[in-house]
Structure 1
Amino acid sequence: MVSTTFENLNESKKSLITDALLNEFSNHSLTDAQVSRIVKESGIARGAFYKYFDDLNDAYHYLYSYALKDIHQSIVTDSSQKLRPDEYVEQVRDFIERSYRSRYFSLVKMHLLHNESLFLTPFNNHMITENEFHWATQVMIHDAIKQIMLDPSNKEIILKKLGRVLNALAKEDDKNVSIT
């Protein structure tokens, strides 16, 4: 967990360290990342890094969460709010566009290509408790985002297919709700 020492740093120093983390994790997978490059780029002592973060995983969690908060600003993530399929598709489109325009695009792409498997357990543990519709929706959305990030030329095709599948799931979910 990010230390309060890091949280209490002045904004310019925190920004310098965050930028160094972004550079490292955008260009190197978590397994290839090195504290030495981060401390060199940010101009901090190696000991200071470990004062701020437990380890590279902790630093990565901090940065990736920070990036997703910035990208996700207008996206509904509360599972109690069931959106219409077209609203989900628009949120995916918005996430993709915001990712492309953000300074975090390379980080998100690196995460999807190389680091995601290191973090699936918390995602899966959370999702497994959701109802079938929400679980299936989130799995489909996540996969669509991954496919689009890896091959942007297929964005419209993938979004159209996602919309059709989510419509079919919503109809099935509505039938199941009516029966129970």
Structure 2
Amino acid sequence: MVSNTFKNLDDEKKLRITDAFLNEFSNHTLMEAQVSRIVKESGIARGAFYKYFDDLKDAYTYLYGMAMKEIHKDIQTDHAASPVDFVKQTREFVEKSKDSSFYALVKMHILHNESVFISSFNDQVITESEYQWATQVMIHETIKQIMLEPSAKDVLLNKLTNVLTALVKEDD
């Protein structure tokens, strides 16, 4: 958990540390990340890092949360959205990610790090409808495929539209 000590740092120092996190976690998987590189780049003592964050996973979670807030801030989400709405949201997420300073972090997360954060069982799977669950799985996979092959974005979004439309017909 991010400490209050970190939250109360002056903005310049917080930015230096956050920039060091962004550099480290955008260029190294969470398993390869090193506190030593972060403290060297940010100009803080190793002990200060552990005063601010429990460990690398805690620092990563903090940074990734910042990224998701920034990327999602203007994307309208509606859980009862139509396939067209879901595809629009997916397109906006992909485009905002691509244009964001967090793009390399998001790509690293989706391709390498997210398995570190997936619990063995998600209770939401039980409460979601089959359509909601399948929609989230398909959207996530589409984003992943676009990050692997950006030139296929339009084809993949069209496929997502077709699949979600077919699922809606099945769900009726």
TM-score range, shorter chain: over 0.9
> How much has 1:34 moved relative to structure 2?
0.2
**1:44-78 superposed Cα distances (whole Å, 9 cap, x missing partner):** 01000001100000000000111011011123456
**1:41 paired to 2:38:** no
**1:119-145 superposed Cα distances (whole Å, 9 cap, x missing partner):** 1228x6154131211111000000000
Structure 1's consecutive aligned runs of 4 or more residues displaced over 3 angstroms after TM superposition are none
> How much has 1:9 moved relative to structure 2?
1.1
CA distance in 2: counterparts of 1:74 and 1:172, whole angstroms = 31
Q: 2:102 is matched with which residue: 101, 104, 110?
A: 104
| Residues 167 and 113 (structure 1), Cα distance of their counterparts in 2 relative to 1, 3 Å cut | same
- Aligned partner of 1:115 in structure 2 is 113
Give runs of aligned pairs for residues 66-105 of structure 1, distance below 5 A. Answer: 66-77=66-77, 81-105=79-103
TM-score (norm 1): 0.91
Alignment RMSD (CA, Å): 1.4
CA distance in 2: counterparts of 1:31 and 1:143, whole angstroms = 23
**1:73-105 superposed Cα distances (whole Å, 9 cap, x missing partner):** 123456xx3101111101111001101100011
Q: 2:135 is matched with which residue: 126, 129, 137?
A: 137
User: Structure 1: any 5+ residue segments left out of the alignment?
Assistant: 176-180
Amino acid at match of 2:122: N
CA distance in 2: counterparts of 1:163 and 1:35, whole angstroms = 42
**1:9 paired to 2:9:** yes
Number of aligned residue pairs: give it: 171
TM-score (norm 2): 0.95
> How much has 1:39 moved relative to structure 2?
0.4
- Aligned partner of 2:27 in structure 1 is 27
Amino acid at match of 1:18: T
Whether the 8 Å contact between 2:77 and 2:89 is mirrored in structure 1 is: no
Task: Report % sequence identity.
Answer: 63
Whether the 8 Å contact between 2:2 and 2:53 is mirrored in structure 1 is: yes
